[in-house]
Chain A
Amino acid sequence: MKTLHPRIRLVWIARSLLAAVIVGAAGGAGSLYLDLPIEYPIAIAVVIFVVGTVHSILRYRKWRYVIREDSLYLERGVLTEVRTVVPLVRIQHVDSRRSAVERVLGLASTVVYTAGSRGADVRIPGLEPDTASDLRERLKRLAIEAEGEDAV
């Protein structure tokens, strides 16, 4: 079982910081406009940030993935634990991608697409760019070897 790169925590924390700032700014502007105490929106923003940070750390601890003989297996989730088996034959295509925050922190994600409806795209975040490309190539090769028909 492989874990994600520890820096992914920073990506997630940055994201919750962003959410906290947006909520705080909107709430603060509203309070100023309506002449309400400014402490409440600030408190809400702080709570969002703290909860987001804790969640990010726990989320990192829970994340595991492994490529098995005929499937890709993932474990994740803090409040709801989710385990997904993606049979290699069902892989439709594989992407590796980097968002702006990921680029700043030198990380990348690999996204695996299936024709399914619920697990249609499975994202493995927090990979080093080389690992992400390797994973993409490897999954592509394995999917081709598995020779699946779409069954759709």
Chain B
Amino acid sequence: MKLSPISVPYRGLQKGASLLLMLVFVASAGVGPIGGGFVVAIGGIVILSVSIGYELLYYRRFEYVLTEDTLDIRSGVLSRREREIPYRRIQNVDVRRNLVQRALGIAAVNVETAGGSSTEAVIQYVTVAAADSLQTDVRRRKRRSRGSSERDSASEPIESATELFSIEPSELALVGVLSFDPRVPGAVLALLSGSIPFVSPVLLPGDVSGVVLAIGVFVIGVAIISLSWIVGVVSAVVNFWGFRLTRTRDELQYERGLLQRYSGTIPFDKVQTVTIEDNPLKRRFGYATLVVETAGYAPGQGGGRGSEAAVPLASIDRVNRLAHELESFGEPAFTSPPSRVRTRYLIRYLIAIGVLSAIGGAIAWYVGTAFPWYLPVVAAVLTPIAAHYKWIHRGYWLGEDHLVTRNGFWTRERKVVPYYRIQTVIDSRTIFQRRWNIATVIADTAGSLSVMGADAAAVDIDDSYAPDLRAELSDRLQASLVEHRATIDRELGFEWVDETEGSDPSDDDAAPSLSETEPIDPPTDSSPVDTSDRASSLDRASSPDRSDEKSDDEQSSDR
């Protein structure tokens, strides 16, 4: 199948426009206004024709095919690329359209697989109908490839989807009000620091008293904060407009966005962790945020946090119910870190304030103005409260099948990690932690947000207990693996009975013959059969990001 023909001019203009912008920059900086205009005009024509020509070739080369077991994509103008992505490796197929794309009736399709910070395949752009059919086809074939007992599901005319969550206008409004975009102050500061040499002569006519300077700083601070708040409101409303979450038998489907419309699916068996977040404001009004993390799914790379199935804001009850629907982890009773840790936090805050004041004092002394550098010291009054909350919010709980951790002084987050999803267990002591005989135990999962260091962690627990916790977590992982295998065996057993008795002759012949030769042969047997084959199966399973192989001549469970 091909891309939509509209993608040629659209992509051409898109790529050309950024180059053009750069050209305008360079020209305006380098050449005079008249010469600059001429250069821009000629350059623009050249750039646009080259980029549209390139996109035409790209369009001709790009092709995707849905085969029996894989999604094949052939692409590339200068360097050709052929990819075969096995359906069962696909984590998510997401479709996104921005305002212009919606007007043109085209959509971008991103195919996500595990194991990578980047999207496996980007199909830009196909018609909306093609995008939707790609999404449903992949889902259907994926299910078919998962188990033959589910083969009939492909013929299911309509899947029953239950709505789990849909955002209400009042909630959307609240999301906006409670949003604060922390990237804005950074951006503003970056901009300001660049223009300080130009601004300072205007702002500082001769000598100003320190108080005026302080007031100026305060006003600028307030302006920056309100600006970031406004940006937060707008971006929240634009992002979460019409947010809906529905579930089918084994998938979570989401839809959101005002200007750019996102939609996609997350299979339940790909969910790694569930996170519930709140902050004092949200707690006060009984709201919370829910984030669902899947492996390798990193939407909007570099654009901050991004699980698409995140419920931006809902009442705590709704969030809890939803979280339990995804992972039934029960009611956690957290174990707090030892109380000496509270003292540690207090000291840490005081040191931070001391350093801040010292820097301020040094600057005041160096510049020679009476800048009120001692202002941060006022905050010292608040440190015991902050330390207390930081301490009281920390904790971990070992549930039946889940590890639940809680952290955060302002934004409190509870992370629910099924033991079965744990990848590695790490416990560490920094040089400072050792002085207090405390340690941190981290349960690493294959989640995508964790790249930013937000793993489930039992922080600052007693040193003597850390090795026990580490051992306990790895034992529980092993136990959960055994249990998981048992269920798979059971399911496979049923499947096999299903197959010999209920299979119709029109079925593909491979599966029945397999089940006749080895009746109950779960994939977990440890019989010393061909190790070489198993080795290759390990290799294959090993790199989920390497999808350039056909995989599926493997075990019956994978069919």
Contacts and interface: CB of A to CB of B under 8 A. Distances in A.
A123 B523 CA distance: 30
Contacts of A79: 430-431
Nearest to B294: A152
Residues of B contacting A: mostly: mixed
A30 interface: no
B429 interface: yes
A83 interface: yes
A140 interface: yes
Interface in A125-152: 140-141, 143-145, 147-152
B70 interface: no
Interface string B412-446: 00000000111111111111001000000010111
Nearest to B442: A118
Interface stretch (B152-160, B397-405, B541-549): B541-549
Given A81-B429, A87-B474, A152-B544, A115 B423 contact: yes
Contacts of A84: 424-426
Contacts of B270: 152
B534 interface: yes
Given A80-B430, A93-B539, A115 B425 contact: no
Nearest to B470: A85
Residues of A contacting B: mostly: mixed
A134 B428 CA distance: 28
A148 B91 CA distance: 19
Interface stretch (B14-22, B139-147, B241-249, B450-458): B450-458
A114 B474 CA distance: 15
B328 interface: no
A83 B471 CA distance: 11
B526 A86 contact: no
18 contacts: A80-B430, A80-B431, A84-B425, A85-B470, A85-B471, A85-B473, A86-B424, A87-B474, A90-B424, A114-B444, A115-B446, A117-B444, A117-B455, A118-B455, A119-B424, A122-B424, A147-B523, A150-B114
Given A115-B295, A147-B526, 5 more contacts: A83-B426, A89-B478, A145-B526, A147-B523, A150-B446
**7 tightest A-B CB contacts, nearest first:** A116-B423, A152-B295, A93-B542, A117-B450, A116-B444, A119-B424, A115-B446
Interface of B: 91, 114-115, 270, 272, 295-296, 420-431, 434, 442, 444-448, 450-451, 453, 455, 467, 470-471, 473-474, 477-478, 481, 484, 523-524, 526, 531, 534-535, 538-539, 541-544
